């Protein structure tokens, strides 16, 4: 069974030499555990944080040990009551082919209700992130003009569409290619979108949202955040979900130079972690599940095949190779 190990903590952009794909013995499920053959692995931006030793909300990956991440697979041996061989489970033993996981930490998923990869994306962690961040942290309400960065990604594409379906007055997205921008407008129903690589974000945002924005859902940080503060309306709200533009920085990034605008706008800026919002999961699935089934909320996945390509898939997320959720499919 092959598994990915972190060998050294990356400085700046992670390099292949910081990792190794290691052949290990098939894990044996202990009492209360099941052995899962992984079918889909998730690679996510937050994993960059776990590669460094800095204290954060998720513990750093240990060196020379299997890395972790979301995964969906089939139970091939069970030492636990309530989970049977053949069941499919969502669990945290990713970055490897086989995982022995505590049955108590595994969530059964129904392969007939949705494609298995959806439990990692549109109906899973990234979907709930979009839902909780927009509705709870940003206190979205009907009539709000919403701007989301990283808008062609897993979280961002769902933020924009949930806002549209819930009656936003205007939905604006930014992404890193003209192709992604076209997708946002043509397929996801954004009112306006721009490629942040084509010119200053503040100017492009002002053109896309001449009447300003009430909500900014931040996936990117940096000049995107500054631009959003610059376009914020009275009582505007900024939900800080991620700041992917700084994850590989070796020096702290400069802060937004226009923070003082929060005073005149009575603006609010608040970070959140999806892990604190799992109480919304049933409501999320009840509301968003039918939208996905009916095709009213569209999603894409970028699928990379083979456990040996997991690292490339992860680096691809940092580079922007993905449209929608990046998924690794195992044979
Ligand atoms: P995405 O599917 O959005 O993939 C990441 C995207 O970020 C890339 O596709 C790329 O798209 C974009 N990107 C990369 N570098 C830059 C840059 N310098 N400037 C602007 N965009 C960049 O990932 P997720 O949907 O999984 O995550 C989105 C964000 O949400 C991340 O910041 C992540 O850390 C955060 N997050 C936070 C959670 C929480 O609990 N707070 C939970 C889950 C995710 P492009 O081609 O457009 O550049």
Q: What are the residue ranges spanned by the domains of the chain?
A: 2-120+300-329, 125-275
Mean pLDDT of all residues in 157-161: 98
d(CA 14, CA 51): 9
Find the 153 Cα to ligand 1 centroid distance in Å.
6
- The rounded mean pLDDT for the chain is 98
Q: Are 325 and 120 in contact (CB under 8 A)?
A: yes
Instruction: Report strand pairing: 145-148 vs 107-109.
Output: unpaired
Q: What is the CATH number of domain 2-120+300-329?
A: 3.90.180.10
Read off the tokens for 171: 């939905």
pLDDT digits (tens, 9 = 90+) for 237-263: 999 999 999 999 999 999 999 999 999
Q: Are 234 and 265 in contact (CB under 8 A)?
A: yes
Beta strands in 131-208 (DSSP E): 145-148, 170-175, 192-195
Which pLDDT band holds residue 331 (cuts at 50, 70, 90)? confident
Find the 219 Cα to ligand 1 centroid distance in Å.
5
Pocket test for ligand 1, best of 126, 320, 322, 327 (most atoms within 8 A of CB): 320
**Which pLDDT value is given to residue 2?**
98
Q: In the beta sheet, which residues pair with residue 5?
A: 20, 66
> Which ipTM value was assigned to this complex?
0.99
Read off the tokens for 324: 């929608």
Find the 33 Cα to ligand 1 centroid distance in Å.
33
pLDDT digits (tens, 9 = 90+) for 77-103: 999 999 999 999 999 999 999 999 999
Which pLDDT band holds residue 55 (cuts at 50, 70, 90)? confident
pLDDT digits (tens, 9 = 90+) for 307-330: 999 999 999 999 999 999 999 999
* pTM for the whole structure: 0.98
Residue nearest (by alpha carbon) to ligand 1 atom 32: 242
Question: Which residues line the pocket of ligand 1, CB cutoff 6 A?
Answer: 44-46, 126, 129, 150, 152-156, 175-177, 180, 196, 219-220, 241-242, 244-245, 272-274, 317-318, 320, 322
d(CA 125, CA 9): 25
Q: What is the CATH number of domain 125-275?
A: 3.40.50.720
Residues in the chain: 331
Establish whether domains 2-120+300-329 and 125-275 are of one fold: no
């Amino acid at each position: 069974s092959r598994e990915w190990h972190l060998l050294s903590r990356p400085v700046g952009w992670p390099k292949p030499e910081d990792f190794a794909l290691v052949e290990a013995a098939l894990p044996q499920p202990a009492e209360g555990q099941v052995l899962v053959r992984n079918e889909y692995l998730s690679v996510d931006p937050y994993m960059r944080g776990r590669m460094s030793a800095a204290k954060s909300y998720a513990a750093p990956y240990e060196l020379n040990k299997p890395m972790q991440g979301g995964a969906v697979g089939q139970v091939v041996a069970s030492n636990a009551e309530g989970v049977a061989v053949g069941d499919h489970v969502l669990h945290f033993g990713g970055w490897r082919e086989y995982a022995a996981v505590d049955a108590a930490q595994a969530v059964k998923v129904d392969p007939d209700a949705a494609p298995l990869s959806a439990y990692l994306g549109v109906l899973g962690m990234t979907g709930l992130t979009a839902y909780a961040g927009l509705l709870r942290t940003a206190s979205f309400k009907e009539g709000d003009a919403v701007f989301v960065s990283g808008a062609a990604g897993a979280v961002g594409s769902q933020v924009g569409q949930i806002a549209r379906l819930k009656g936003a007055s205007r939905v604006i997205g930014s992404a890193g290619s003209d192709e992604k921008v076209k997708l946002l407008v043509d397929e996801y129903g954004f009112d306006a979108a721009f490629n942040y690589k084509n010119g200053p974000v503040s100017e492009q945002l002002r053109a896309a949202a001449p009447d300003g924005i009430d909500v900014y859902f931040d996936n990117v940080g940096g000049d995107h955040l500054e631009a959003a503060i610059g376009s914020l309306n009275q009582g505007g709200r900024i939900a800080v979900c991620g700041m992917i533009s700084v994850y590989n920085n070796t020096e702290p990034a400069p802060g937004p130079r226009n923070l003082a605008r929060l005073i005149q706008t009575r603006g609010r800026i608040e970070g959140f972690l999806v892990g604190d919002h799992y109480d919304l999961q049933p409501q999320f699935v009840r509301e968003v599940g039918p939208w996905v089934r009916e095709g009213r909320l569209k999603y894409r996945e970028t699928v990379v095949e083979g456990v040996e390509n997991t690292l490339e898939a992860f680096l691809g997320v940092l580079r922007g190779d993905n449209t929608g959720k990046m998924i690794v499919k195992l044979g």
